[in-house]
Structure 1
C-alpha cells in the first residue's frame, strides 16, 4: 500500500487530507528527500517525516491548511538546529498540499504503478495551486536526474520521484508464530502477502495492508511473487514447508528464503533437497533456523522479533550494496554452530 492509497482512503472518508512531502534536504536530516506523510482531518496521520519538532510543526501546518482558506499549498524551509532546536545540523524543505474530492481521480491513477516500471510522476499545476499527477513516460522520467527527488521545469511541471516500491514479503503459515510475525511486520514499509490453505486459519482481524492467499497450491503463489521477494516458511506441516522451500530455492530469484526449524529439521531438509536434485549453492541459500543469533526465546513474539530484525538486516545490506552491485541471489545461510537452534 502506497501513500496515495492512504490519501485516497482519507479523502473518501473525510473529504480532504494533507500530503506532506520532504522536497529537499541539505546536510543531516531524520528522513530523506521524497519522504511523505498523509494527515487526516481529525489530526490522525500515516507515515512519518522523521518525528521531533519538524514533524510536530508540519502537523500543525497541515491542520491549518485543513481548516480551510483559498490556499491549498504551502511550503516550509527549516534549519533543524537554529529553527527547531534539533541536534541534526541539516536543512529541510517541505511541501504541504491540501487534497480534496476533486483530486480523487488522479489519486486513483497512482494507486498502482505501471507494469513497465517507472517510479516517477509528472505534476501539472492546477488553479488551486496543487499538482495533478500522472505516471510519466520514459522520456519524462529522464528529466529527473539520478539522486534527485523533484525538479520544477520551466513550464511549471513538477517531476518527482516516488521512490522504490516496498520489498515484498510472502509469509507461509498462520500458526502462532505466523500470527505474531504478521503483526510485527505490518507497521514496516513492506508489501505483505500471508498464505495458508487451511479453512479458518487466519484470525478474524488482520492488518489492513496484508493480502491473504488461501490457495491449496503454494507453488502457484510463489510463481506470482515478484523477483527478489522475501519468503518466510512456517506452516503447520514439515512436508509442506519442504515443498515450498524447495520450489522457492529452485526458482533462484528470491532475495531471502527462511524456514522455521531446528538443526535436525535443516539436516533432514538438506538431505531430501539433494536427493531431489537441488544444487548445493541453492540449498546453502536457505536460512534455517530463521532469526538473528543471540535471541534464545521460543515464544512466538520473541521469534517474530528475531525474524523481523533479520529481515531488516537483509534490507540494510542490500541497500548498501545496491549502487555498485545489485543482488539477485538469496542471502547465504549461517551454519548451525553460529546460532541457537531454537525454532521448531
Structure 2
C-alpha cells in the first residue's frame, strides 16, 4: 500500500524538508494548493512535502491529504518527474463535508545524483576526479592499486579498491557514466566489454587514440557485439574541440562530456513536465468547472 507510512509525519516546515531531502539525495514531491473554490481546509499556497518514507507539513489533513500522499507516492514509484495538476472535490467521495474543490500542483523532484565511475588512478584519473569536484554528481574512483589514491578526496568522490576492477561494473546503477582510463589496454577492453554487456550506461568513454578505438571496435565485433552496441563506446573520450595532451587538459575535455551527459539526462526526465502556460490553462478549466 502506497500510503502505509503515514506514521512518517514530521513537524518540519516544507522549506526545511526540501533542504533536508536534497542533502540526503532523496526524491520527493512538493505539493501546493494552487487554487480553491468554496469551503476548503487550507488557503491557496499551502504546501507539504512527501517522500517515499516521510511526510512534512500539511495541506489540511483528512482524506484529501491521504489521497494527495497516495498520488505523490505513486509519482515517486513511477519516477514521473516534473509537474502535474489534479483537482479534488471535497464532497462525499473524499469523506469530507467542506463542499468546495481544491486544485493541487504536484512537483516530483529527482534528487539522486548521476554517478560517474572513473576506472584508473593514474595522472589523468587524478586530474579528472579533481576537475569533477563540486559538480552535482557522485564519483566512484576504481583501481587495484591502493597506493595511487590521494590521502584526501573531493566531497563528492569515494574510492573503490578492487583487485580486479571489472568486478566493480556489476554494482553500478543504470544510467551511470563510465570513464575508462586505466594503465592497461587489455583491462580497458575487458571493462568496455562488461559495460556494453549491461546495455544500460548513460555514457561510456574510453581513453585512447583512433587506432585504439578501431582495434577495440574490431575485437568487440568478433565478440558478437552489433554495430549499435559498439557505437556506445566513445573513444577517444573527451570533447574533440578541447585539445591538449596534459592530464588537466584531457580531464577538462572529459569533464565537458560528463556535464553534457548529466544535463541531457535532466532535460529528458523533465521533458514531459507540464509547461506553465498549459498549467495555467488547466487551472482555469479546473477552477471554473
TM-score by length of 1: 0.52
Q: How far 1:273 moved relative to its partner? A: 1.4
Alignment correspondent of 1:303: 250
CA distance in 1, matches of 2:69, 2:253: 41
Secondary structure in 1 aligned to 2:141? strand
Query: Mean alpha-carbon deviation: is it higher for 269-278 or for 314-323?
Result: 314-323
Match of residue 174 from structure 2? 227
Q: Which secondary structure does the structure 2 equivalent of 1:281 belong to?
A: helix
- The residue aligned with 1:51 is none
Residues 172/323 of structure 1: CA separation in 2 closer, same or farther (3 Å cut):
same
| CA positional deviation for 1:279 | 1.9
- Count of aligned positions: 210
* Pairwise CA RMSD: 3.8
Distance 1:203 1:162 in 2: 35
Inter-CA distance 124–240: structure 2 relative to 1 (3 Å threshold): same
SS in 1 for 2:195: helix
Q: Distance in 1 between matches of 2:219 and 2:242?
A: 28
Instruction: Mark the CA change 1:138 to 1:305 in structure 2 (over 3 Å): closer, same or farther.
Output: farther
Counterpart position of 1:242 = 189
Distance between the aligned counterparts of 1:181 and 1:138, measured in 2?
43
Q: Aligned partners of 1:220, 1:253: CA distance in 2, in Å?
A: 16
The more displaced of 278-287 and 313-322 is: 313-322
Q: Alpha-carbon deviation of 1:143?
A: 8.7
Gapped runs of 5+ residues in structure 2?
A: 1-11, 30-49, 59-67, 85-89, 91-105, 273-289
Per the alignment, residue 170 of structure 1 pairs with 117
Report how far residue 142 of structure 1 moved.
Answer: 5.2
Cα distance, 1:185–1:291 mapped onto 2, change above 3 Å: same
- Among 126, 141, 144, the residue aligned to 2:73: 141
- Identify if the C-alpha distance between structure 1 residues 210 and 283 changes in structure 2 by more than 3 Å, giving closer, same or farther: same
2:283 corresponds to:
none
**Is 2:145 the partner of 1:198?**
yes
SS of the residue 1:192 aligns to? strand
Whose helix fraction is larger, Structure 1's or Structure 2's?
2
Alpha-carbon spacing, 1:137–1:172, altered in 2? closer, same or farther (3 Å): farther
Larger Rg: 2
**Uncovered stretches (5+) of structure 1, i.e. residues with no partner:** 1-71, 74-94, 100-106, 126-135, 326-344
Residue deviations 1:199-237, cap 9 Å, x none? 312111111321210012333311110011100000111
- Local SS of the residue matching 1:170: strand
Matched with 2:101 is: none
TM (normalized to structure 2)? 0.61
Q: Does 1:119 align with 2:28?
A: yes
Residues 82 and 108, structure 2, Cα contact 8 Å, conserved in 1: no
For the residues of structure 1 that align with 2:268 and 2:15, how far apart are their CA atoms?
A: 33
